[in-house]
Amino acid sequence: MPTVEKYLKPEVINQIKRLDLRAQFVVKGFLQGLHASPFHGFSVEFSEHRRYTAGDDPKDIDWLVYAKTDKYYVKKFEAETNITGYLAMDLSQSMGYTYRQDLSKFDYSICLAASLCYLMIYQQDPVGLITFDEQIRDCLPPKSKRTQLGNLLSHLSRLKPRGTTDIAKSVAQIAAMLRHRSLVMVFSDLLEDPDPVLRSLRQLRHGGHDVILFHVLDEAEVHFPFDGLVEFEDLESEDRLQVDATSYRDDYLAELESLRTVYRKECSKVGIDYVALDTSMQFDKALLEYLISRRGRM
């Protein structure tokens, strides 16, 4: 079973730290831009005045302005709230698949999650972890302490993808459990019917949450490097299918592109970020490219 050292080994941590150095000019705009919102409170930047109206707190009256105008004005404030992030990880057995890469889809997702955790903590934003298969299994409360990265990796390193998954049900459970507006980052290979998954993602989005869907596939699932007669096994159902891979390739690649297109279009309609990745991409470069593209759209 993997250990936390697998994800804390120097080359992985160096990639995460390098991402921080290269991405810090976009991370601030990416994270803070999500939740900029006006509210009344303390330790925030003074914005403007407005006339006092019934229901306002008298403590907010600016008495200096009153002395000059003989009228009551309330100080208005505007600030950027902290973002609470949740990393939602698919634990289904298919996530443990790798054809020839060092990292399985699950390992790759852990590295992505660790990078996002590191970046959010760098911004002093709390981040937590949710794991799911057929339902939610664990929930680590969001924290912004530096130790959270190690806690998160330590928890994930003890997990082994196994069994079947119900992404739609799990995402719906996440939508029901979150009480405050959050940034939810979902990591999954999405190997099930997209319609119910998209319905639950819309439910999550309509709850006021920002959602990023990382569609993580193995290199072989994206490029299909198989020839001749090949037997494939469904890791979750253990069903086996023997096909002529050479003649099947074009149909398979067309189906995969169709699936990605459906997710891309439907997510775009409701303001969900859909990020298609495969395990042959360096996770730090892939994440940086996404952050830059996201920042360009904001």
**CATH code of residue 98:** 3.40.50.410
Question: Residue 264: pLDDT above 90?
Answer: yes
Please say which residue of 48, 80, 112 terminates a domain: 80
Would you state the structure tokens that stand for residue 247, as one six-digit string? 């003649």
- Residue 112 sits in the same domain as residue 192: yes
Rounded Cα gap, residues 201 and 257, in angstroms: 20
Q: What is the pLDDT of residues 103-124, one digit of tens each?
A: 899 999 988 888 888 888 877 8
CB count within 10 Å of CB 122 equals 17
- Does this model's pTM top 0.75? My answer is yes
Please give the share of the chain, as a percent, with pLDDT higher than 90: 44
3-state secondary structure of 167: helix
What total of structural domains would you count in the chain? 2
With contact defined as beta carbons under 8 Å apart, do 107 and 65 qualify? Answer: no
Strand locations in 256-295 (E): 273-278
- Residue 19 sits in the same domain as residue 151: yes
How sure is the predictor about 296, in pLDDT bands with cuts at 50, 70 and 90?
Answer: low
Please say which residue of 51, 80, 109 terminates a domain: 80
Q: What is the pLDDT of residues 129-140, one digit of tens each?
A: 999 999 999 999
Rounded Cα gap, residues 289 and 212, in angstroms: 14
Domain residues for 72?
37-80
